[in-house]
């Protein structure tokens, strides 16, 4: 493949019911930084039905061009219509890079698309950079998260990568940014559509989003059981925080997966992250090390979490948590 023909960084602007997902804005921020290095344009791919009014938002967050595909076939995400539409764009526009959020939609779309256009895909990247030769350096955890691997896709284009929500930082919106919006029409082959959405039933569970919390009180195996987590909840209530957890407590059935921090959970960056009874395994640290201020409480003074923490307290959390709650609640 003549890779030199390929230019510009495309970002899949995932929207759900017309709401642009945060991860798309985060990827636009990263794409801008990469585009500065490679001297290319950032192009947002906005697919859906009656969503063109979202284009300006994408420009404000870093897109130079928005390619908008508006079609009833794209109203709800299903694999085949979205794959057909983006494959056509890739074949016409020949982007050098395509970034996709590693959401449930992105994880479905990315592999199908990369196979359709005959290129590679690096999933769940945690860092992206441009090499001296101009290739995309895609870094992701490998071997169970015990080392970081940097992957290069030298011979095929686009260089495709999925990135988990919360990993990249979105740029602040700049309403004065200028960009162009182009409407692209796509010819679908409905004979290949395998799935038809008949009805959408929303889960009524009240899901918490720990990625939005300003203060997180996280508990690990040292907290031990639901009784231990009740102590963390009292502390959280006193300082308006959310409770999260390590995977050990999710695997033990004490906490739900939506509250798990780490490589196979969520990536968080609150103002303050408390780590109670968490040892600091690399897979946990990968999800919280960008927090502004990390306070670790562990009875083992050699626990690895202290290497990541800004403030460390060596002691028994079962004594410290009630004391802290009492002190912070006292008027």
- Of 167, 166, 171, 161, which is closest to residue 137 (Cα–Cα)? 161
- State the minimum distance, in angstroms, from the CB of residue 322 to ligand FAD: 12
Number of other CB atoms surrounding residue 289 within 10 Å? 15
- State the minimum distance, in angstroms, from the CB of residue 137 to ligand FAD: 22
Q: Which residues contribute to the site for ligand FAD (CB under 6 A)?
A: 144-145, 220-222, 246-248, 260-265, 277-279, 281, 283-284, 287, 297-300, 303, 316-318
Tell how far CA 93 is from the center of its chain.
26
**45 vs 297 by CB, closer to ligand FAD:** 297
Cα 69 to Cα 47: distance, rounded to the nearest angstrom: 5
Q: What six digits make up the tokens of 305?
A: 């979490």
**96 vs 298 by CB, closer to ligand FAD:** 298
**78 vs 298 by CB, closer to ligand FAD:** 298
- State the minimum distance, in angstroms, from the CB of residue 297 to ligand FAD: 6
Taking the CA atoms of residue 264, residue 247, residue 243 and residue 254 in that order, the dihedral angle to the nearest 10 degrees is: 130
Q: Which residues contact 57 (CB under 8 A, 6 or more apart)?
A: 20, 173
**104 vs 204 by CB, closer to ligand FAD:** 104
- State the minimum distance, in angstroms, from the CB of residue 258 to ligand FAD: 12
- State the minimum distance, in angstroms, from the CB of residue 318 to ligand FAD: 5
**49 vs 221 by CB, closer to ligand FAD:** 221
**H or E segment at 278?**
none
């Amino acid at each position: 493949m003549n890779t030199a023909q390929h230019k510009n960084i495309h970002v899949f602007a995932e929207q759900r019911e017309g709401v642009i997902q945060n991860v798309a804005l985060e990827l636009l921020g990263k794409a801008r930084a990469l585009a500065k290095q490679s001297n290319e344009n950032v192009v947002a791919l906005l697919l859906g039905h009656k969503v063109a009014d979202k284009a300006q938002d994408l420009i404000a967050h870093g897109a130079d061009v928005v390619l908008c595909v508006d079609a009833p076939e794209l109203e709800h995400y299903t694999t085949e219509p979205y794959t057909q539409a983006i494959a056509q764009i890739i074949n016409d526009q020949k982007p050098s890079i395509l970034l996709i959020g590693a959401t449930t939609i992105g994880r479905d779309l990315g592999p199908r698309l990369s196979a359709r256009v005959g290129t590679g895909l690096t999933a769940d990247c945690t860092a992206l950079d441009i090499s001296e030769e101009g290739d995309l350096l895609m870094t992701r955890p490998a071997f169970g998260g015990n080392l970081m691997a940097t992957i290069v896709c030298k011979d095929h284009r686009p260089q495709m990568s999925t990135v988990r929500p919360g990993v990249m930082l979105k740029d602040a919106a700049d309403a004065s940014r200028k960009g162009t919006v182009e409407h692209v029409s796509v010819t679908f082959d409905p004979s290949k559509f395998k799935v038809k959405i008949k009805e959408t039933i929303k889960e009524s569970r009240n899901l918490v989003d720990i990625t939005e919390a300003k203060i997180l009180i996280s508990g690990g195996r040292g907290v031990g059981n639901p009784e231990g987590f009740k102590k963390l909840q009292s502390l959280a209530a006193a300082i308006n925080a959310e409770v999260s957890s390590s995977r050990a407590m999710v695997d033990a059935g004490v906490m739900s997966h939506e509250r798990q921090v780490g490589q196979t959970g969520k990536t968080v960056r609150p103002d303050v992250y408390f780590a109670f009874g968490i040892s600091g395994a690399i897979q946990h640290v990968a999800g919280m090390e960008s927090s502004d201020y990390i306070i670790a409480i562990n009875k083992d003074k050699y626990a690895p979490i202290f290497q990541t923490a800004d403030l460390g307290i060596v002691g028994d959390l079962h004594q410290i948590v009630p004391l802290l709650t009492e002190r912070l609640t006292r008027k």
